[in-house]
Amino acid sequence: MEFCVFVGPNFGATYEDLAQVARQAEGLGFDGYFVSDHYTAWEGDGLPGPTDAWTTLAGLARETSRLRLGTLVTAATFRHVGPLAVTVAQVDAMSGGRVELGLGTGWLEGEHAAYGIPYPPLGERFELLGETLDVLRQFWAVPVGERFDYEGRRLRLRGSPGLPKPAQAQGPPIILGGIGLNKTPRLAALHAHEFNLPWSPAPDAAVMRGRVREVCEEAGRDPDSMRFSVSVQLGVGRTEAEARARLDPANYKLDVLPPAHFAGSPAQTVDWLGQYGELGIDRFYIRNPPKPGVAEGNLELIAAEVLPQLRR
């Protein structure tokens, strides 16, 4: 199993805040550090404002040495595909080949409006996502010295040299995810290395995992070649009150926690995460506040008493 720290900079964090949490995650032995790619906060004041995900990852590529780094997820609407391919390849090279790219359709209309980003209907966004995945694959695969064209409904490229190349020979791993039973699983079967089950309780994760494996088989792909992950939020403490206090401030006072949120002792957390492991989930994204000190002691206790038992 792998365990990654996952933060939402759009809720308000400086680059130094994010870098400090990343350095902490690396020092504690977590496997990766992933950031959401959003520009607005939907709770709280969002101060001091968002940080751009790929600018942040470029900095962290030079400030860390071992962590896998990536987005969960970048909206295909946010960046033109050519500049996106250049940016991801460059950050991958800067990190020595540690980058992963989570991609999605984009879903927050007000965020697009606030920053002047076009927000087409859902069907068009799925077309854009599919064509973006096609182009990225060709961009990173075209041999050096050759060029390629692409003609789609949403995207057109002429004479692209597909440069620069990322450090990872086949390109950074692609992460797709969601709860839809058709479009996203089919795109994942064609393009993704990993399927993320966002905030899914274990029974729902089992159903979705089965569906994705089924679509892989229909597409002629070995379903065992697909990695499955889940996003969770954990508050771990010696007492119930301490565990609750280490959850995100928006959740710790709720009587009933949202799906894939858990507060408990280290032993209870091992059991709770273990139910996902039994389903074939082999990577967890553990949501953490983007500012240091907000959930003081949480990552330390998870690293010391939860991860070693699950990794065994």
- What pLDDT does residue 254 have? 75
- Asked whether the predicted pLDDT for residue 248 surpasses 90, the reply is no
Largest CA distance in the chain: 61
Per the prediction, the chain carries an average pLDDT of 95
Phi, psi of 103 (to 5 degrees): -130, 145
Residue with structure tokens 């032995």?
A: 29
When pLDDT is averaged across residues 109-127 and rounded to a whole number, the result is 96
Structural domain boundaries of the chain? 2-311
The whole-angstrom separation of Cα 81 and Cα 120 is 16
- Asked whether the predicted pLDDT for residue 75 surpasses 90, the reply is yes
Residue 218: half-sphere exposure toward Cβ, Cα within 13 Å: 12
**For 194-226, b where at least 16 C-beta lie within 10 A, e where not — what string?**
bbbbbbbebeebbebbebbbebbeeeeeebeeb
Cα-only R_g, the chain:
19
When pLDDT is averaged across residues 128-143 and rounded to a whole number, the result is 97
- What pLDDT does residue 252 have? 65
Residues 6+ apart with CB under 8 A from 74: 37, 53, 54, 84, 101, 102, 103, 104
Q: Residue 64 has which token pair?
A: 């860390």
Residue with structure tokens 């961009």?
A: 139
- What pLDDT does residue 176 have? 98
CA 235-228-98 angle, to 5 degrees, is 85
SS3 259: coil
**Confidence class of residue 250 from pLDDT cuts 50, 70 and 90?**
low
What pLDDT, in 10s, does the model give residues 145-175? 999 999 999 999 999 999 999 999 989 999 9
Residues 6+ apart with CB under 8 A from 197: 177, 179, 204, 205, 208, 209, 228, 229, 230, 231, 281
What are the DSSP E strand ranges found in 220-282?
Answer: 227-236, 261-264
- Asked whether the predicted pLDDT for residue 251 surpasses 90, the reply is no
Residues 6+ apart with CB under 8 A from 267: none
When pLDDT is averaged across residues 59-83 and rounded to a whole number, the result is 97
Q: Which CATH class is domain 2-311?
A: alpha beta
When pLDDT is averaged across residues 64-81 and rounded to a whole number, the result is 97
- What pLDDT does residue 309 have? 95
The fraction of the chain above a pLDDT of 90, given in percent, is: 88
What pLDDT, in 10s, does the model give residues 268-278? 999 999 999 99
Least confident of 194-203, 231-240, 246-255, 256-265: 246-255
- Asked whether the predicted pLDDT for residue 58 surpasses 90, the reply is yes
Residues 6+ apart with CB under 8 A from 254: none
Phi, psi of 161 (to 5 degrees): -80, -10
